[in-house]
Amino acid sequence: MVIQKLEQIWKARDLRNNLLFVLAMLLVFRLAAHIPIPGVDVRALQDLFNQNQILGLMNLFSGGGMENFSIVMMGVAPYITSSIIFQLLAMIVPSLEEMSKEEQGRSKINMWTRWLTVPLGLLQSYGMISLLQRSSTGVLANLSFFNILTIMITVTAGTIFLVWIGELITEKKVGNGISLLIFAGIVSGLLKTAQQLTLSFDQQQVMTFIGFGIVGVLTVVGVVVISEGQRNIPVQYAKQFRGGRMFGGSTSTLPLRVNMAGVIPIIFAISVVLFPQMIAQLFMRASSPAVVHAAEWVVALFQNQLFYGISYFVLVFAFTFFYTEVIFHPDQIAENLQKQGGFIPGIRPGVHTAEYLSATTHKIILAGALFLALIAILPLLMRYITGIQSLAIGGTSILIVVSVVIETVKQVEAQLTMREYDKV
């Protein structure tokens, strides 16, 4: 079956060219991630990232570009932050909400998102430079104002370059460009981790590595099940007479996904968890002893694995419910069903349907929220169980990788299906 699909893709010339173009763009991204900015001790920087949990999480979403201090060290993080800001604004600002429903309005919002990416990139790059200067000595040389400004402009331009590449990939309709860039970065990091584990292989840890592999496979299976899982609510359409003809009378389903929020809650939770630590790191060398003591206390608190794990779990769980409540509107769905003459068997149309959908969604999202929260803290659990610090399944990484693969496969299959219809 897989071989047949590959043969169909290869025979479809335009689809084959699109996939080759996407691979070429991902290769350009990976090459750019290994071009360091001059004046940085890359080896000392990599050691710092291996020792610092905060920087390790930030490096995850930059595809390794941050630990190399490359020209694309910020990855697409400023663009993602900008996108999240406009998504939240569209939920609370009526004018933006109306714009988001129209093609022209969405184009304007996308343009504003790109504009906001520039100041966010400059701000985040400056924060990163300040954080590295205060975290360790020797990583960055004594930088003048001109050098700092040059680095900020360079890495911001690198972010805009990646956003441009992502949009070019999206236009090929074989996957979301930004997601594929994150996917490429995570996969390269996983390959690097596998190489390190292979070099440090110990025969006494064979069973541990086998257990790691089994848990990894089960995690992938769980991600696929939850990502594709949905509850189909039956919907019956009443028969209607219009112009002497009968319409309706059919039966359909309303799918409610187990994980409506995707990986957005994890991204929100990471931002909240990292923010106090990043701010505290900036005050570690303050002139006031009280400020330094408070900063050290905050850093030590979040370095506590138990506190960090509980906070991360609770935030992911809470953000999953919050984001689902924001994007899922049972009142509108119930109203649309009523206008179309549809109803859920045994449930009255209107308010009762909205209440039923809301209650059902809460039950379904409970399972999705627990799953996302467990996936988020899976690396901490594996470190605690195995006792091996380098042996940690990146649950968030696996979730993103599997989600991107599923989305890309669906888009490729959709294009193949369209070609089959065109032949008919």
The 3-state secondary structure of 49-117, one letter per residue = HHHCHHHHHHHHHCCCCCCCCECCCCCCHHHHHHHHHHHHHHHHCHHHHHHCCCHHHHHHHHHHHHHHH
Q: Kindly state whether residue 57 falls inside one of the protein's structural domains.
A: yes
pLDDT at 103 over 70: yes
pLDDT at 133 over 80: no
Q: What integer pLDDT is reported at residue 115 of this predicted model?
A: 93
CB atoms within 10 A of CB 192: 11
Q: How far apart are CA 323 and CA 274, in angstroms?
A: 20
CB 308 within 8 A of CB 298: no
Residue whose token pair is 């859920």:
344
**Tokens linked to 288:** 């006031």
Q: Kindly state whether residue 76 falls inside one of the protein's structural domains.
A: yes
Question: Which pTM does this prediction carry?
Answer: 0.75
- Residue 234 β-bridge partners: 253
pLDDT at 213 over 90: no
pLDDT tens track for 318-336? 888 887 877 788 888 888 8
- Residue 251 β-bridge partners: 236
Q: Kindly state whether residue 50 falls inside one of the protein's structural domains.
A: yes
Q: Report the percentage of the chain scoring pLDDT > 90.
A: 5
Residue that wins the pLDDT comparison between 234 and 3: 234
Q: Which of 190, 226, 221, 179 is nearest to 405 (CA)?
A: 179
The SS3 assignment for 201 reads: coil
**Tokens linked to 85:** 């800001």
Number of domains present in the structure of the chain: 1
Tell me what the mean pLDDT of segment 290-295 comes to.
83
CB 319 within 8 A of CB 269: yes
CB 250 within 8 A of CB 237: yes
> pLDDT confidence of 118, banded at 50, 70, 90?
very high
Rg (CA), the chain: 24
> pLDDT confidence of 50, banded at 50, 70, 90?
low
CB atoms within 10 A of CB 288: 10
Residues in the chain: 424
Q: What integer pLDDT is reported at residue 55 of this predicted model?
A: 62
Q: Kindly state whether residue 318 falls inside one of the protein's structural domains.
A: no
Most confident of 12-16, 113-117, 179-183, 388-392: 113-117
Tell me what the mean pLDDT of segment 219-230 comes to.
77
Alpha carbons within 13 angstroms on the beta-carbon side of residue 273 total: 28
Q: What is the dihedral of CA 89, 92, 95, 99, to 10 degrees?
A: 60
Tell me what the mean pLDDT of segment 222-230 comes to.
78
Q: Are strands 240-242 and 245-247 parallel, antiparallel or unpaired?
A: antiparallel
Q: Report the percentage of the chain scoring pLDDT > 70.
A: 75
pLDDT tens track for 373-385? 887 777 677 666 6
Tell me what the mean pLDDT of segment 30-37 comes to.
84
Q: Kindly state whether residue 213 falls inside one of the protein's structural domains.
A: no
Q: What integer pLDDT is reported at residue 298 of this predicted model?
A: 81
- For the ranges 75-84, 205-214, 262-271, 359-368, which has the lowest average pLDDT? 205-214
Residue 264 per-residue DSSP state = H
Q: Kindly state whether residue 97 falls inside one of the protein's structural domains.
A: yes
pLDDT at 63 over 60: no
Q: Kindly state whether residue 417 falls inside one of the protein's structural domains.
A: no
Q: What integer pLDDT is reported at residue 197 of this predicted model?
A: 61
Q: How far apart are CA 79 and CA 101, in angstroms?
A: 21
Residue that wins the pLDDT comparison between 120 and 213: 120
Q: Which of 125, 175, 166, 395 is nearest to 266 (CA)?
A: 395
Q: What integer pLDDT is reported at residue 202 of this predicted model?
A: 61
* Long-range Cβ contacts of 239-246 (<8 Å, 24+ apart): 240/341
Look over the chain and give the mean of its residue pLDDT values, rounded to a whole number: 77
Q: What integer pLDDT is reported at residue 185 of this predicted model?
A: 79
Measured CA distances, 249 to 46, 235, 325, 345 (Å): 64, 10, 32, 13
Q: What integer pLDDT is reported at residue 289 of this predicted model?
A: 82
Q: How far apart are CA 266 and CA 30, in angstroms?
A: 24
Tell me what the mean pLDDT of segment 217-223 comes to.
75
Q: What integer pLDDT is reported at residue 364 of this predicted model?
A: 87
Q: How far apart are CA 304 and CA 273, in angstroms?
A: 13
Q: Kindly state whether residue 116 falls inside one of the protein's structural domains.
A: yes
Q: What integer pLDDT is reported at residue 44 of this predicted model?
A: 67
Q: What integer pLDDT is reported at residue 24 of this predicted model?
A: 92
Residue whose token pair is 């595809």:
63
Q: What integer pLDDT is reported at residue 248 of this predicted model?
A: 54
The amino acid at 146: F
CATH (domain of 130):
1.10.3370.10
Tell me what the mean pLDDT of segment 96-100 comes to.
79
Chain centroid offset of residue 390 CA: 23
Q: How far apart are CA 281 and CA 200, in angstroms?
A: 32
- For the ranges 231-235, 305-309, 391-395, which has the lowest average pLDDT? 391-395
Tell me what the mean pLDDT of segment 267-279 comes to.
73
Residue that wins the pLDDT comparison between 26 and 291: 26
Q: What integer pLDDT is reported at residue 308 of this predicted model?
A: 79
Q: What integer pLDDT is reported at residue 161 of this predicted model?
A: 93
Q: What integer pLDDT is reported at residue 279 of this predicted model?
A: 73
21 CB burial (10 A radius; 0-12, 13-18, 19+):
middle
| Domain region containing 142 | 14-200
pLDDT tens track for 138-196? 566 667 788 888 888 998 999 999 999 989 998 888 878 888 888 887 777 766 666 66
